[in-house]
Structure 1
């Protein structure tokens, strides 16, 4: 993997580039890494048409994993992705982000819209993030991770789910630096979200999607569709927040035509 450095705080961001064509940056969700894009079939499906830019978000995968919660402020995370684009000397990209990656995409779009050709956000939210992880995982999840570790976290999350965790997701979570993940989660809980007025001012082709069973994020995604001018909304039938990103055939059935138009 290659590495870009965020000049603000010196954090290193690991990334790889695969394929040929217009650049498309894929940003993964919480406690995952860029490896999911290959594991779930996105790389195979897109590499012949796009130059895929696959970063590991700070605190995840092979990127640096600071243990200070303030290292996970959203402006720093947005700066990480800009550092990757600058290292590659790429002015503008298509953007596909899921969950955490979707939230980062919304923030990137309002702070540096000139760097994006299109914006695709899956399972994202512009709302203040206080309490969001209790809804996505289970009540008290950050304290369980902090005090009891990843195995207890995964077991309790699995017990609260309708469907069992798939092996790929469990393995990806288990590979994390727990202290870094706790720092990221605690800092994320303080994020104020993206102002409605900033979203209403966007002039960027935007696709929004969420699973039909993603109760925490489907309503947030529908709300985003009312705020972002001209945005499109797709509901992926039969999947919840954890399983939607793994449903690559269903997701790409709506994403690929959108990208092809632009």
Structure 2
């Protein structure tokens, strides 16, 4: 009897789940100013950007998955002052205030890199230093490989260096399941649900910042499930080896207590590739937020 009831419930729910999956999958969003930025109109997806001080060759900041330009606020202005360079923070496709298209290809390594390259061309930028956090480090790697003449230096921050060297929160995996996933994703705007996933982006004792909730809630379902930048790269050649082979100065930073991209195996992987990371004591996955002074002390000499 119980089995029949269960089967009946499943049969009744399936049409609704299917319709919800279609509607969620079609969700898209136009670009709009966010986090103090302004929209840059492009032929591809329009991007939200924010510039800070300086006139020297730009430093371009690329945030991580489910993040936004707001994650750079603790360090962006100070970095511009310390280096005497212009600093440009970019919301990646589907994140923050940037356009969220329906096409999943726009969220992969090639799509994100193409969007950043187009944005820099529209800004008249000829040479940059790229600083990428987590997924943004994968985008920086793809940009440097696609447009080597554009990139002078690269900094990657807690960007896992090979396949399998990350630990995705369970909810992050579940929301991408067929049919059921889009229904679960409806709960993403509930802070109590978000907190358990967002905490992995920081050390266990670091309070999740308010802007982390806002950034996560800006993502469409496509952005959540098709932001595959580093997986795309690692599928054919590990990011650590790609960075080591760029022929450009590369700095790798890592938070001592990172649980999202665990510190010990990633540090070892980069060291094996010849890029031993600088470990920032006391930080989790996001050193520029958790330990901004230590972050700036590590990157400023490299970028000045």
TM-score range, shorter chain: 0.7 to 0.9
Provide the alpha-carbon RMSD of the alignment.
Answer: 2.7
Can you give the 5+ residue segments of structure 1 that lack an aligned partner in the other structure? none
Aligned partners of 2:88 and 2:288: how far apart in 1? 21
- Name the SS for the 2:48 alignment partner: strand
* Residue range with higher mean Cα deviation, 142-151 or 53-62: 142-151
CA contact (8 A) 1:209 1:221 kept: no
Q: 1:243 to 1:163 in 2, by over 3 A?
A: farther
Aligned partners of 1:221 and 1:78: how far apart in 2? 25
- Name the SS for the 1:125 alignment partner: coil
Residue deviations 1:15-65 (CA, integer Å, cap 9, x gap): 132211221101111111112222x23323424611111111001111101
- Name the SS for the 2:215 alignment partner: helix
Q: 1:245 to 1:221 in 2, by over 3 A?
A: farther
CA contact (8 A) 2:59 2:129 kept: yes
Partner residue in 2 for 1:46: 80
Partner residue in 1 for 2:253: 209
Aligned partners of 1:242 and 1:41: how far apart in 2? 12
Partner residue in 1 for 2:232: 191
Partner residue in 2 for 1:248: 292
* Residue range with higher mean Cα deviation, 23-32 or 193-202: 193-202
How many residues of Structure 1 are paired with residues of Structure 2 in the alignment?
Answer: 249
Partner residue in 2 for 1:149: 188
TM-score using structure 2 length: 0.72
Q: CA deviation at 1:190?
A: 5.2
CA contact (8 A) 2:155 2:251 kept: yes
CA contact (8 A) 2:195 2:208 kept: no
CA contact (8 A) 1:98 1:245 kept: no
CA contact (8 A) 2:155 2:250 kept: yes
Partner residue in 1 for 2:156: 121
Can you give the 5+ residue segments of structure 2 that lack an aligned partner in the other structure? 1-37, 176-180
Find out whether 1:170 has 2:212 as its counterpart: yes
CA contact (8 A) 2:62 2:131 kept: yes
Aligned partners of 2:288 and 2:53: how far apart in 1? 24
Q: 1:234 to 1:36 in 2, by over 3 A?
A: same
Find out whether 1:88 has 2:123 as its counterpart: yes
Larger Rg: 2
Q: 1:109 to 1:224 in 2, by over 3 A?
A: farther
Q: 1:190 to 1:37 in 2, by over 3 A?
A: closer
Find out whether 1:139 has 2:170 as its counterpart: yes
TM-score using structure 1 length: 0.82
Aligned partners of 1:45 and 1:198: how far apart in 2? 26
Aligned partners of 2:110 and 2:288: how far apart in 1? 27
1:220 is aligned, of 247, 262, 266, to 266
Q: 1:167 to 1:27 in 2, by over 3 A?
A: same
